[in-house]
Amino acid sequence: MLSEALEAYPGIVVSNMGYIPVGMCLSGSGDYYYLDAKTGDPSDPPLVRVPHEAMTSATTYAEEQIEVVCSSLTNFLRAATTEAPASWD
């Protein structure tokens, strides 16, 4: 999370816009998931996905490209499920 916010793009840019990195997509895109610390309830912020391709320059990001995954972290965690990898069987 620190590496994404301080050393990588778009993390450097969107972290300065009020988004906090919390995890990375492991299904292929490599896009990061963030908490939107500037929208909604600050104690239960929305979870969003920040696509890499929305960087418009080294210092700007097309914020309208950010996708809301869930309206709040609490709702996301309530709906989350896990699957054991095949090697755990």
Any idea where the domains of the chain sit in the sequence? Answer: 2-76
Query: Are 50 and 74 in contact, with CB atoms under 8 Å apart?
Result: no
pLDDT value of position 86: 67
Element (H, E) at 15: helix 11-15
CA distance 57 to 50: 15
pLDDT value of position 88: 54
Query: Are 17 and 63 in contact, with CB atoms under 8 Å apart?
Result: yes
Pick out the chain residues at pLDDT < 50. none
User: Whole-model pTM?
Assistant: 0.84
Q: How far is it between the farthest Cα atoms of the chain?
A: 47
DSSP tally for the chain: helices H, then strands E = 3, 4
